[in-house]
Amino acid sequence: MHVPDLNSLSESESHVVLLFDPTPNAFSYLGLGSKRKLIFEKPQTGILEAFEDFSKLASSWSFGWLGYDLKNEIEDLETRNPSPLGHPVVAWWEPEIAIRFSDSSVEILSGDDDDPRMIEALESIKKESKVPEEIQGEMVWSWDKTQYLSAFEKVKQLIQQGDVYELNLCMPLKGQTASNTSWPLFRRLQNLTQAPFSAYLQCGPYRIMSGSPERFLKKEAGRLISQPIKGTVRRGGSPEEDKALAHALQNSEKERAENVMIVDLVRNDLSRVAEKASVEVTDLCSIYSLETVHQMVSTIECSISPEKGISDILRATFPMGSMTGAPKISAMKHIDQLELEGRGAYSGSIGYISPTGDFDLNVLIRSLFHNSISEVLMASVGGAITSLSDPEQEYQECQLKADAIFKTVND
């Protein structure tokens, strides 16, 4: 996965985006500057319609993020504990310069050829970004193990009471790092994870460095594709151990049950915008092997009803079931009670919208969030809890998911 050298551009430009596209063609997207932008600091009525209008007006590609608290406009929900980072709930923009590139080709999507920034961007693509040996920063758990286990038991009680049958419980990590370390942090994280939906987004002082392995939703030629992840295990130290771990994950009753629950939730969500009888599970509980973990992934697809726009699609599907639980609304209400701080952009989504209205959105997990003014750095990790979940195993899975984040910042 070729990573251009954006160290200089990330310091000189207020708006920067780098998205990796995990298609067979292996395209990536680079955007600089902002022609137009849509910023909502907090959820409010009409935000999805404004987002759709913005995407329709775009004459070129647009990029950005949708924060988790967008849920408050979609459903009758609230967030009592806002994230201390202050990232807007929606930040979406049309870059002045947009480039699509792969190892074998470079295509200018928008921008002037003689713009000095265009020249610098094209030069940066030719260079492979160096991986910083270390970062002057620190990241620590906000919860200790006792706090996690206490919250876990509360989730188990909710399951026994019938309030939910699956809930994604997340715990935050906090740190501090200098304002100019956002890009170096991303480069280290990407190098460690090699995640297919890696991305770097910079909107003024708000930065997201994503090592996400998960696709939330892709729209392509009238089709919607969702690929939720439920089920994670580490890579083995030898080929034999690695194969055994993947096999154990594939055959785990608990992990398959978690995955199937979210598949059913996604099927229901997609049915609200799909053509009749078009929702289908095209791949169930497959194992995908990444740099640091094996993941269990399912694929659900449908044909979109012609009258449904992106606001309808998001209203039906956001936030993703893999980061909430089931039933989704009940799970989200309890998450706000159980988690001590708001998620902010975490477990939202970042991605692009093309000029034709197609889009690809990831799930904002395995990511770092940075405010370059306060220099606060945050992340969160979590996992789904069901009636079959073991508290010690769930805690250890959180440790596994946080490993690359700690290595990025603390090593």
pLDDT of 239-275, one tens digit each?
999 999 999 999 999 899 989 999 999 999 999 999 9
Q: Lowest-confidence range among 99-103, 159-163, 278-282? A: 99-103
pLDDT tens digits, one per residue of 361-405? 999 999 999 999 999 999 999 999 999 999 999 999 999 999 999
Average pLDDT over residues 134-160: 93
Q: Which residues pair with 378 in a beta bridge?
A: 174, 369
* Beta pairing partners, 177: 137
Is the peptide bond prior to 306 cis by the omega test (within 30 degrees of 0)? no
Residue 231 placed within a domain? yes
Structure tokens at 389: 């979940």
Which stretches within 275-353 are classed as H helix?
Answer: 310-317, 328-338
Structure tokens, 120: 């610098």
Amino acid letter, residue 205: P
- Integer CA distances (angstroms), 178 to 124, 174, 202, 343, in order: 23, 14, 15, 22
Query: Residue type for 23, please?
Result: T
pLDDT score recorded for residue 292: 87
Structural domain contains residue 82: yes
pLDDT at 1 over 70: no
The residues that are catalytic are: 214, 230
Q: What is the dihedral of CA 288, 192, 362, 335, to 10 degrees?
A: 90
pLDDT above 90 for 56: no
Q: What is the mean pLDDT of residues 120-138?
A: 88
pLDDT at 122: 95
pTM of the full predicted structure?
0.94
One-letter amino acid at 20 equals F
Asked if the structure places residue 2 within a domain, the reply is no
CATH code for the domain of 163: 3.60.120.10
Phi-psi category of residue 388: left, alpha or beta, with phi > 0 → left and psi -120 to 50 → alpha? alpha
| In-domain check, residue 149 | yes
Question: Which of these ranges, 53-57, 119-123, 210-214, has the smallest mean pLDDT?
Answer: 53-57
* Residue from 253, 262, 257, 306 nearest 281 by CA: 262
When pLDDT is cut at 50, 70 and 90, the band that residue 24 belongs to is: low
How far is 411 from 405, CA to CA, in rounded Å?
Answer: 10
Region for 347 from its dihedrals, namely left if φ exceeds 0, alpha if ψ lies in -120 to 50, beta otherwise: left
Domain count of the chain? Answer: 1
Say if 1 falls within a structural domain.
no
Domain of 73 in residue numbering reads as 7-410
